[in-house]
Amino acid sequence: MTARAIATGSISFGLVAIPVKLYPATQSSAAISFHLLHKDCGSRLKQQYICARDGAMVPRSDMVKGYEFAKDQYVTFTPDELKALEERATQTIDISEFVPLAKVDPVYFDKAYYLAPEKGGEKAYHLLCQVMQESGRCALARYAARGKQYLVLVRPVEGRGLVMQQLLYADEVRALSDVPLPETPTVRDAEVKLAHQLVDQISSETFDPTAYEDEVKKRIEADIQKKVDGQDIETSESSAAPAQIIDLMEALKASLGAPRTKARGNQSTPGAAERLPAQRSAERSAERSAEKTNKSGARRSERRANRRS
């Protein structure tokens, strides 16, 4: 189905202005949603607002918007005052700088929109796309719409189109230092080697989003259809949590020997007996290294015990 433009605007950098149309890059209709119904008759329920002080139902005509500046203390605004607070929509994507795309942490990514050139802007549009593609850079810009000013990132896709990625501001992203992370533990060389082998075993050089499907969504849709057809849905207890890893080396070895199930086609990679000689040799080398490390540690412990005695 052909996408429908939701807005028009222009990309501005230097004295160049490129007229563009904005198209949503995602589909909210793809999500499954449920409605609240009256249990007795099955009718849809309407949302109502109740005053927290006197419990009275408040119609929209009696509602005003307010800002809480202190606990339970509000300052109210009229519709005209709220409109005056809004950023004036310029519909201009005003580029501030070009930066390497790899330097922008995806944690800042928010909504995405496709940009397509308007009539008369095709040449400048494709020139900008080509230059960013060849330089490996993206554009950081400001975009005012819907009463707000957004920080956005414009990047080329597939060498022929542009995506405008809405970004979060710095104060909207929590710092990693706020997360209580443990001290970095010591990892043995043998464990690193096996982990590298496991990563190589299940690596791909490209990302194919069509190889992945929302299996939970498919299951829910199937269960919904059962209910529509008058059937009951089988309920079961939640599966047990996976066992905690006790021996990291054994877990890595078992992972290397397990068959690989791909995202599509359920094709499996060769098992332990069919792995390449080079891989088996690397595993044996890692095992010998681990045994050597364990024996060395045991000898040191024995010498310390003898000195104490």
**Confidence tier at 278 by pLDDT (50, 70, 90):** very low
**Confidence tier at 160 by pLDDT (50, 70, 90):** confident
If one compares 243 and 185, the residue with the highest pLDDT of the two is: 185
For the cut 80, the answer to whether the pLDDT of residue 274 exceeds it is no
Collapsing DSSP to helix, strand or coil, 18 comes out as strand
CB proximity list for 145: less than 8 A, separation 6 or greater: 7, 9, 89, 91
Q: How far is CA 169 from the centre of its chain?
A: 17
Report d(CA 240, CA 85) in Å as an integer: 52
**What integer is the mean pLDDT of 75-103?**
88
For the cut 60, the answer to whether the pLDDT of residue 271 exceeds it is no
Q: In this predicted structure, what is the pLDDT of residue 173?
A: 94
Token pair listed for 217: 């969504």
Across the chain, mean pLDDT equals 82
Q: Whose CA is closest to 149, among 137, 167, 133? A: 167
Lowest mean pLDDT among 115-124, 132-141, 192-201, 242-251: 242-251
For the cut 90, the answer to whether the pLDDT of residue 171 exceeds it is yes
Max avg pLDDT among 11-20, 112-121, 228-237: 112-121
Lowest mean pLDDT among 60-69, 99-108, 145-154, 281-290: 281-290
Q: In this predicted structure, what is the pLDDT of residue 282?
A: 46
**Confidence tier at 85 by pLDDT (50, 70, 90):** confident
Q: φ, ψ for residue 101 (rounded to 5)?
A: -60, -35
How many CB atoms neighbour CB 241 within 10 A? 6
For the cut 90, the answer to whether the pLDDT of residue 132 exceeds it is yes
**Confidence tier at 270 by pLDDT (50, 70, 90):** very low
How many CB atoms neighbour CB 3 within 10 A? 12
Amino acid letter, 39:
K
For the cut 80, the answer to whether the pLDDT of residue 25 exceeds it is yes
For the cut 80, the answer to whether the pLDDT of residue 11 exceeds it is yes
Q: In this predicted structure, what is the pLDDT of residue 291?
A: 54
Collapsing DSSP to helix, strand or coil, 117 comes out as strand
Q: In this predicted structure, what is the pLDDT of residue 269?
A: 41
Token pair listed for 113: 């929109």
**What integer is the mean pLDDT of 198-222?**
87
For the cut 90, the answer to whether the pLDDT of residue 184 exceeds it is no
Collapsing DSSP to helix, strand or coil, 278 comes out as helix
How many CB atoms neighbour CB 104 within 10 A? 16
